[in-house]
Amino acid sequence: MLLKAQVQILARQEALELLGVASTEPFSREAEVALKRLDQGLMDGLPWFHEERVRRGADPQRLLSGAKSILSFAVSYYVATSSPGQDGQPLGRVARYAWGMDYHQVLKGRLKVLIEKLSACLGRVIRYKVYVDDGPMLDRAVAYRAGVGWYGKNTNILTRRLGSWVFLAQVLTDLELEPDTPLRKSCGRCRACIPACPTGAIVAPYVVDNRRCISYHTIENRGVIPREIRPLMGDWVFGCDLCQEICPVNRRVAHTKEPAFQPREGFTTLGLFDILALTEEDFQGRFRGSPIRRATRVGLQRNACIALGNISDTAAVPALARALREGAALVRGHAAWALGLIGGAAAQAALEEALQKEHDPWVQEEATLALASASEMVQLGPALARK
């Protein structure tokens, strides 16, 4: 118990807010659930999430031979919405966790310092492995077993004091510590998060279909976003917070005091015209040290096209027309879709010009469908005006 108290003191010194200890028994039940989701196709689109990864992550001894305990941490990133200021251009929304610095390096650094201090206290080198949302370890399963939080119906871990606005991290170690017990809490009858998801990604309590998740499509998806999903994405360009914003557990959580996770200017929302104009050099420079880099420049520009289509402001037509002429094929096709949604004579002209020069079959298909939509809107214009 004395050793565990030392760990708790050192964790507080490193601003690691919630700490629980889990045993290193295999996570057999959680592995079965994850493998079932794989078999059902609910994890399609994530090539790195495969059977061997699940089995390895569910067995702590395969990750660190001789491991005796898992330290489970939760650190808040919650901050209030800040006022955007992007010169009046249309804005795309960014998930809260990406408003500050990249949490991977911030938390890994803190955890390594904690272990170094603990090693000094014990007078021996501690064997350990650190995971911050970047390895095979089943982080939510660890957090649940360690009593850090409980599963929400949106599959997030919910905590008593910090809600679900938390980063999870783990240290697998050869330290022998008394494990904590899971919390006796649940969401009860609350289902608020399920209808809050516009794409219907939460297909049942505690079950998310990755193929319909806005966060997946704006970050992990490297290809075409399905046409039926695009209108449901609204103005999200990186991640999505809707199922967290509606959660009652998050109503009265305190704001994080961590400087690294405070909102940075120009990161809480993104100017969509600016995004479409980014060069690769611009992208790498602007988003250095930010989780937003994971979306890639082309992916972010694709997302911006969808957001502009959903906003449907005719002021976006020149920027979209330029993207249709000069962007990567993935961007051109989604720009065409957006122009078809906005409609009008200028959008129609841009699409007609593109079809005369375009050689990519998928972009041609998108532009043809978009042109039909834009042309129809031009024809309906006078009738709508009379109404």
Residues identified as active-site: 133
67: left (phi over 0), alpha (psi -120 to 50) or beta: beta
User: Measured in whole angstroms, how far is the alpha carbon of residue 48 from the centre of its chain?
Assistant: 16
CA nearest 163: which of 242, 102, 77, 101?
77
Grouping H, G, I as helix, E, B as strand and the rest as coil, residue 73 is strand
Amino acid at site 288: R
CA nearest 265: which of 104, 85, 87?
85
Q: Locate 122 and state its tokens.
A: 């014990």
Strands 69-76 and 236-238: unpaired
**Neighbouring C-alpha atoms within 13 Å toward the C-beta of 364:** 7
Q: b/e per residue, 328-358, with b = 16+ CB within 10 A?
A: ebbbbbbbbbbbbbbbeebbbebbeebeeeb
